[in-house]
């Protein structure tokens, strides 16, 4: 589909709503209706306090025949994904109401891949807090490109200038404290503000990184990438 075709298609529904609204605006009084569903459903519904006349259009001014329920107070219709205009004409002189309802996806999928997609602004990359977990005894077995991630001051400055924050490069062993229940004592980790990071990597093979958005959010963890460039790419592509 070319640019002009997509443009027209995108404008078609707003034009329908505008035309219908302009036609009906001069009518006096007003009524309220409730429409369902929210985006993502395939069954539409609208209801009003009083029975009235209902008109439903799909995109392209195609009329849709709804099922009337509750003596005309409610309508139901099923249709393809897309936008629908629901017009309710209340009894008497009250002003008609026009509402837009979206079923399924807002736009049905194109049958063919669009060869000329609109350039979309890239989503703003998330800035991450990064914790790196290692078994310190294995640092001497780590390849140099991974040691660049764990130990290079140059890389840390690159990370920082990219807006990310290195929390630390930590040995897997956490300090523990002894907790006793009667005569039975056990060692448990001393808790702290980074518990979620430790929990995320718990039981996973090392080395590993755990990341969470700087503004807060769920912790995700991954095997430590092989190179600094791969880690930066991972941070660029990861989503909260």
Partner 1 sequence: MSVIYTADNCHQLLRRPSTEDGTPQWYPRQTVYGGPEAASMGLRPIEDYPDVLVDWADAKEIIAFCHQKQIFAMYHLDNSGVMDAGWDQDGYGFCWAYGLTAAVMSCRAAEGKSPVRLAPFSLGWLVNWRNSGYYCDRAIAGARQSGIASAEFVPEHTLNSSRFRSGWQGDALQYAPTEWWDTRKPDDITMLRQTLSILRTGRAGYEAFIWWSHALACVGMDWDESQPNNVVTIHWNSHADGLIRMSGSRGVPDELYGVRATKHVDA
Closer Cβ to partner 1, 50 or 171, answer by number: 171
Distance CA 4, CA 115 (A): 14
Q: Which of residues 183-202 bind partner 1 (CB under 8 A)?
A: 190-195
Residue 56 sits in the site that holds partner 1 (CB under 8 A) = no
Exactly one of 41, 47, 68, 170 binds partner 1 (CB under 8 A); which one?
170
Tell me: does residue 166 bind partner 1 (CB under 8 A).
yes
Answer yes or no: are the C-beta atoms of 170 and 151 closer than 8 Å: no
CB of 126 to partner 1, least distance (A): 20
Angle between the N-to-C axes of helices 153-161 and 228-237, in degrees from 0 to 180, rounded to the nearest 10:
20
User: In whole angstroms, how close is the CB of 154 to partner 1 at the nearest point?
Assistant: 5
For residue 174, the minimal CB distance to partner 1 (Å) is: 6
> Is the Cβ of residue 49 or residue 192 nearer to partner 1 in the bound state?
192
Of the two residues 66 and 207, which places its CB atom closer to partner 1 in the complex? Answer: 207
The answer to whether residue 150 forms part of the interface with partner 1 (CB under 8 A) is yes
Instruction: List the structure tokens of 135.
Output: 């078994």
Q: Which string of DSSP letters, residue by residue, matches 2-27?
A: -HHHHHHHHHHHHHHHHHHHHHHTTS
CA distance 18 to 171: 63
Q: Which of 107/156 has CB closer to partner 1?
A: 156
Q: Which of 154, 181, 182, 239 binds partner 1 (CB under 8 A)?
A: 154
Q: Closer to partner 1 at the Cβ: 170 or 222?
A: 170
How would you classify the pairing of strands 34-36 and 165-171?
unpaired
| CB of residue 240 to partner 1, shortest distance in Å | 23
Burial class (CB in 10 A: 0-12, 13-18, 19+), 215: exposed
CA angle 113, 63, 29 (to 5 degrees): 120
- What residues make contact with partner 1 under the rule CB under 8 A? 136-137, 139-142, 144, 147-148, 150-156, 166-171, 173-175, 190-195
């Amino acid at each position: 589909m070319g640019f002009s075709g997509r443009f027209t298609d995108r404008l078609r529904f707003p034009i329908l709503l505008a035309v219908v609204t302009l036609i009906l605006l001069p009518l006096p009084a007003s009524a309220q209706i409730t429409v369902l569903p929210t985006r993502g459903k395939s069954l539409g519904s609208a209801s009003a306090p009083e029975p009235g006349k209902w008109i439903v259009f799909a995109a392209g001014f195609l009329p849709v025949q709804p099922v009337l329920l509750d003596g005309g107070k409610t309508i139901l219709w099923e249709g393809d994904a897309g936008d629908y205009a629901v017009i309710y004409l209340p009894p008497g002189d009250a002003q008609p109401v026009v509402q837009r309802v979206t079923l399924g996806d807002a736009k049905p999928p194109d049958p063919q891949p669009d060869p000329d997609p609109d350039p979309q602004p890239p989503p703003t990359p998330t800035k991450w807090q990064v914790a790196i977990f290692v078994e310190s005894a294995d640092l001497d077995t780590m390849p140099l490109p991974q040691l660049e991630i764990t130990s290079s001051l140059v890389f840390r400055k690159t990370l920082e200038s990219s807006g990310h924050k290195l929390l630390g490069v930590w040995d897997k062993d956490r300090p523990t404290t002894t907790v006793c229940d009667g005569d039975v004592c056990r060692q448990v980790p001393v808790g702290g503000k980074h518990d979620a990071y430790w929990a995320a990597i718990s039981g996973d093979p090392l080395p590993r990184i755990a990341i969470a958005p700087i503004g807060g959010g769920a912790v995700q963890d991954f095997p430590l990438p092989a190179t600094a460039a791969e880690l930066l790419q991972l941070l660029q592509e990861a989503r909260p």
